[in-house]
Structure formats: structure tokens, C-alpha cells
Structure 1
Amino acid sequence: MKNQGGGRIIMKSSIRHLFSMAVLLLLAGCAEVAVQEETPLVLPTGAELRTPQLVVQTGHSKEITSLAFSPDGKVLASSSGDETVTLWHSATGKELRSLSGHSRGVAAVAISPDGTLVASGSWDETVKLWHLPTGQELRTFRGHAGWVVAVAFSPDGRLIASGSKDGTVKLWNIATGGEVRTLDNHAQSV
């Protein structure tokens, strides 16, 4: 990965992540995180290069599958094949809490625009909604016939979109828990 300004690689790490490591770069509020099987690379997204701090997390027992920052950048959520989502304090690297409830690995994670909710999509074909400050599971959305591999919040925070290996995207109403719409014109998995 290269920085947006000059096209230079900012940081390259030879750390191999064997199902338990993720590399985080914290650049005082402007960071992008990359996790790869080998040679994780991280770059700043701001115009001004700052001194990076490299933090290696080993909290998950299996591979990291997805990462999401809270809107204020203070919390980083990581999902894993170990069936959990872990919330981290991004400035210190300290684990805040682990969210358990899926029966198979968690493929995707997202944090709501207001920073109060976490959505997770799993190989168990469900989407779960969590209260970020407490870690309480609020809802489970069921309806996919394949692994849920992507989740996202709508900009207003009222809907969750989930993409699945079943070739559908489903929109869910957070307040009611109901399915709003299924988009199923995909020839392949989403």
C-alpha cells in the first residue's frame, strides 16, 4: 500500500499472521488498517505524515476477517473465525470486550454512524446487532440461506444491509428487526 500523496509505502511489516495477529497503525486520528495473510501493510489517510505507532493484537484465536473503526476513531472492532467480535481501544490497543453469540465464524463487522451499535455477519447465516458501550446482544436477524459475508449501516443508522453467499443483499429495519427488502438479482454470492 502506498500513501495517497507521494505513492510511497509508509510502513511494511514482515509479521506473518497465523490466525491470531492483526496489525494496527494509529496515526492520531487518521489511519487505515490492512490485514493480510502475509506482509501486512498500513498507510496514513491524512495529508500529513505523522510518526506511526505499530500495535500487534493477538486477542483472537483464529483469523481476523474484518475490521471497523467507530466514527470517532476511539474503538476498533475486529471479527474473527473464532466466532467473536472484539472491541479494542484504538489508542492503547487494550481489549474493551469480546462479543460472543454466533455459532460459527464471524465474517464481517460494522459500527453504526452514531458509534453506539455494532453489526456482525456470520458463517452461521445470521446478522447480530450489539450495543457497543455494554456489549449486550440486541437482536438477531435471520433469513439468509448462506454465509453472511458483508454488513453495513445506512448513513442514517436506521437500516443494516447484509450480503450473503446465497446471492442476496437484505435490508433490515433496526428498530423493528424486520426485513425491509431483499435484493436478489445477483448471479454470484455477494
Structure 2
Amino acid sequence: MTRRLVLMLALLSGSAGASGSFFTLLQTWQGLGHAPIAVSPDGRLLALTRPAPRTPAYAPYDTRIEVRDTAKMRRLYRVPAANGDGKTLLFSPDSRTLWSAHSGTLHYDAWTGKLADNREGSDGAGVSALAFAPGGQSYVLAGVNAVGQTRLVRVGVSPLRSFWPVTRPTAGDGMQPNWTSALAFSPDGRWVASGSVGGGVILRSSVTGRPLRVLADEPGQAPHRARLVDLLFLSPARLLSASADGQVRLWDAATGRALASLPCGERLGAVVQLPGGTRVVAATSRGLQLIETSGGRLRRLETVGGDYADVGVSAAGELWAITRGGTLSHWRLLSR
């Protein structure tokens, strides 16, 4: 794509180089893939989801993950997604492996696509979420069984495999089935937050997995009305939750007290935390939304229009986003 076309698109979106804007559009591509996407923490690799060549037997299921280097956007390899779907896609904290989870998990060497040993599968219906602990020495996955119950399992790089208690639906979890749809470790590694399909959020011990508190405005009520899309610990004591209906909420994780909420429009696909800890970017049907979280408040700073399905960020703050129509964009955000 020529530089002139990139600048024209930026001007049409009202973002790049505009006075007072936080977003600067660097480049766009069409037809490279679809959501979910993943950006390696070191910013050198980008993973996208692509439908494989359709065959009568696998047409609804067969999906490929395509990995490109972000310097020249060269395609490095294509590999199968877990169970041909790959609803969960992420790089390890050290950027060395790429993980796909849906029915069981697959993980690959991030640069070569070579399949690594796969030590865990699913408990019946599949793996609904996965999150790495700080440092990447262990991770927690949520396995859903055939009757809609979730079992959380902590797995370590060294011999460690801890099956946590089965999570059964409660009033605070919302509607059934009580599948865990989002997981996050606190930065100090003490807590794991889990979010459910029914809109519930539970804070757990990272050692035993047992619930410490259920986050809610009112006892017995789920804080969200829709599936949890993302959970982010902005600090050891501040947790951000986001649901598919566009509601973003900020919590004092130590007390379970709700601090603020912000409606971001329907069809929220993902939220990522920017370096520095106080700002996040949400991918929604109304666009990319930059949100400030400091002072116990949620304040929208800017919105770049578009129907965005997913967004990823590197440790250096480089932002990559993809629309539901399959247009990939690369952004730089001002830190002011």
C-alpha cells in the first residue's frame, strides 16, 4: 500500500497526525486474516486467523493460524488452530511460543511453527480460556466438561499440575452454562481472576484456585449482563473487566468494591493494557476506544471509528487491530 493511500485512510478515520490525537495510523492491510489476532510481547511477531482451503468434510471447522514478522509483514508459516477453531490465541510472555486453545491446546515454536509437546487436553467440551502467570513459568487453563462445569487447572513448566475445584454455577455467575470465558493473573502472582459466560467475576487464590470473593454491586448479582471478554489487572489491586455487550468496569480487587463503569457500545471484542498501566484500548463495533483508568475513574479519551473485532499490543506500545471485515491496521499511540 502506498504512503499516500495510508495517509488518506488516516485522515478519513480522523486519527493520524490530527491535532490533539493520541492515535497515529502507520499502515493498513486488507485480506490478511481475521480475529482472533495475537502480538508477541517483544513486538516482532503477529499471529492472525485464516480460514483454510474449504473441503466438504472440514468446511465449518478447518482454520489456520498465520504468523508474520512485523518488520516486513512476511509470512513465516501457517499451522492448524486447536480443533480447527482456535478461539484463544496468545504468545507466551517470553515470546518464544504461540498457543492456540479450544478443544485442548496446541503450542508452537513462535518463529518456526514447529509443534511442541502438548501435555494437556480438555475435559470433554473444550478449553475456554488460558492465562500465563507473571514470568511465564506456569499458566492456568479452564477446561469445560460435557455438563457445562468448569475445572481450572494450573500447569507449570517444571513438573506442576494442580487441578482446582470444579466451578459450578451460582447466582453471582449469571446464566448457565458457567463456562469460564476469561482469566488473568495479578502482577504479583497472588491472585487469579476468572470471568464467566454469565457475566460473573471471581477473585481466586493463585495457589489453590479457591474463590476469595465474588465481585458484585449487590450480593448474588453478576456484575455484567453478558459474557466476560477480558480481565486485566492494571496493578496488584486494580482489576478491569469487560463484557461482550460493551460494558467496562473498574474494581478494587482487594475489597471487591466497584470503582467505575463505562459503556463502550455493543460487540466489544477485546481490551488491552498499554505500557504504563493506566490506559487501555478497547476494540468495539464503534471503533478503537482509548480509555484512561487513573484516579478510580474510567474516562474515554478518544475513539477511532470502525467495526473492530480484536486488538493486540506489544510491550513497547505498538498497537495492532483488525476489523470484522478483515482489515488489519498498525498504530502508534502518543503517551501524553
Q: TM-score, normalised by structure 1?
A: 0.73
**Aligned equivalents of 2:41 and 2:67: distance in 1?**
10
Structure 1: gaps (5+ residues): 17-21
**Aligned equivalents of 1:58 and 1:169: distance in 2?**
32
- Of 28, 47, 66, the residue aligned with 1:33 is 47
Higher relative contact order (Cα pairs below 8 Å, separated by 6+ residues):
2
- Of 86, 92, 95, the residue aligned with 1:73 is 95
**Aligned position for 2:153:** 128
- Aligned in 2, Cα 1:127/1:168: closer, same or farther, shift over 3 Å? same
Q: CA deviation at 1:34?
A: 3.1
Question: Could you list the per-position Cα deviations for residues 37-68 of structure 1 after superposition, in whole angstroms to 9, with x for gaps in the alignment?
Answer: 689887877xxx33533321126333111012
Structure 2: gaps (5+ residues): 1-5, 7-22, 52-62, 170-177, 216-221, 229-336
Q: CA deviation at 1:176?
A: 3.0
- Equivalence map 1:47-66=2 (5 Å): 49-50=71-72, 52-58=74-80, 60-66=82-88
- Of 209, 220, 223, the residue aligned with 1:185 is 223
- Aligned in 2, Cα 1:7/1:170: closer, same or farther, shift over 3 Å? same
- Equivalence map 1:108-127=2 (5 Å): 108-124=129-145, 125-127=150-152
Q: Does the 8 Å contact 1:70/1:112 carry over to 2?
A: no
**Aligned equivalents of 2:50 and 2:134: distance in 1?**
26
Q: Does the 8 Å contact 2:65/2:79 carry over to 1?
A: no
- Aligned in 2, Cα 1:13/1:158: closer, same or farther, shift over 3 Å? same
Q: Does the 8 Å contact 2:64/2:78 carry over to 1?
A: no
- Aligned in 2, Cα 1:54/1:151: closer, same or farther, shift over 3 Å? same
Q: CA deviation at 1:163?
A: 0.9
Question: Could you list the per-position Cα deviations for residues 116-151 of structure 1 after superposition, in whole angstroms to 9, with x for gaps in the alignment?
Answer: 1122123332222111355x5322342242111111
**Aligned equivalents of 1:116 and 1:109: distance in 2?**
14
Q: CA deviation at 1:164?
A: 0.7
- Aligned in 2, Cα 1:180/1:130: closer, same or farther, shift over 3 Å? same
RMSD over equivalenced CA pairs, Å: 3.7
- Equivalence map 1:155-174=2 (5 Å): 155-174=187-206
**Aligned position for 2:123:** 102
**Aligned position for 2:12:** none
1:61 aligned counterpart, secondary structure? helix
One-letter identity of the residue aligned with 1:189? R
Q: CA deviation at 1:168?
A: 0.9
Deviates more, 1:66-75 or 1:119-128: 119-128
2:116 aligned counterpart, secondary structure? strand
Q: Does the 8 Å contact 1:87/1:96 carry over to 2?
A: yes
**Aligned equivalents of 2:182 and 2:38: distance in 1?**
21
**Aligned equivalents of 1:36 and 1:62: distance in 2?**
11
2:46 aligned counterpart, secondary structure? coil
Question: Could you list the per-position Cα deviations for residues 145-180 of structure 1 after superposition, in whole angstroms to 9, with x for gaps in the alignment?
Answer: 211111111112222211111321112212233211
- Which structure has the greater CA radius of gyration? 2
- Aligned in 2, Cα 1:141/1:77: closer, same or farther, shift over 3 Å? farther
- Aligned in 2, Cα 1:108/1:41: closer, same or farther, shift over 3 Å? same
1:95 aligned counterpart, secondary structure? coil
More strand by share: 2
One-letter identity of the residue aligned with 2:161? E
Identity in percent? 23
- Aligned in 2, Cα 1:142/1:57: closer, same or farther, shift over 3 Å? same
One-letter identity of the residue aligned with 2:194? S
Q: CA deviation at 1:7?
A: 4.0
One-letter identity of the residue aligned with 2:88? S
1:106 aligned counterpart, secondary structure? strand
- Aligned in 2, Cα 1:141/1:117: closer, same or farther, shift over 3 Å? farther
Q: TM-score, normalised by structure 2?
A: 0.44
